[in-house]
Amino acid sequence: MALVPCQVLRAAILLSYFSILCNYKAIDMPAHQTYGGSWKFLTFINLVIQAVFFGICVLTDLSSLLTKGNDSQEQERQLKKLISLRDWMMAVLAFPIGVFVVTMFWSIYIYDRELVYPKLLDNFIPPWLNHGMHTTVLPFILIEMRTTHHEYPSRTCGLIAVCTFSIAYILWVCWIYHVTGVWVYPLLDYLGSEAKIIFFATVTAIINIFYLLGEVLNNCIWDTQKCMEEGKEKTKLD
């Protein structure tokens, strides 16, 4: 894709996340008034992650345009740092957490929506906003992966970062239960202590799998793209 269309696309996605976040925060929902507020839900945390990530993408695009044709080495270094941050966020947070939220939400929703999204929430959250939080995240992140090559960190560093995020969120959920006596997700009420440990370990493992999936998918897309470009160049030479 050409640079300008990609810029417009990323800017549009960023604006859509701002709209979703603003509409979500404007909802007068009882859960928002309890301990932890919106920050106790992984869905909300993921929306913030996606908004920040696409904000960095847009900033990178703008910086790239401003430094184009400029011989300033300092600006080039700053741009490389921004690109490295963008790629790290894509690898460690935006892709694995985004894919996890979408797949886990709809899997549990189809099985029994009361475990993750009680019907009561339909009175507060309109369907379009629900899909904005739990559906469009996946195509948006796949579009970004297809339009831009991202350099992944070393697998060890990446998996350590993913595990750190997962464990931090699990501890946050447990702390909220310790303070309020109420689990963030109704599903946890039906699990015993040992089952909860297995559940949390499984969740961490799944997020790690999504990290590896993102790495493989990124490599497949761009290795194929590279082969196609080399093939075209070879055809021209012939």
Contacts of 177 (CB under 8 A, 6+ apart): 183, 184, 188
pLDDT of residue 10: 92
Would you say the pTM of this structure is higher than 0.95? no
Question: HSE of 49 in the Cβ direction (CA atoms, 13 Å)?
Answer: 25
pLDDT tens, position by position, 15-65? 999 999 999 988 888 878 889 999 999 999 999 999 999 999 999 998 888
High-pLDDT (> 70) share of the chain, %: 91
Contacts of 115 (CB under 8 A, 6+ apart): 108, 185, 186, 187, 190
pLDDT tens, position by position, 118-128? 888 888 899 99
pLDDT of residue 226: 60
Backbone angles phi, psi at 71, to 5 degrees: -95, 10
Q: Is 102 exposed, middle or buried (0-12, 13-18, 19+ CB in 10 A)?
A: buried
Measure the CA angle with vertex 31, ends 168 and 102; round to 5°.
Answer: 55
pLDDT tens, position by position, 59-109? 999 888 877 766 677 778 888 899 999 999 999 999 999 999 999 999 999
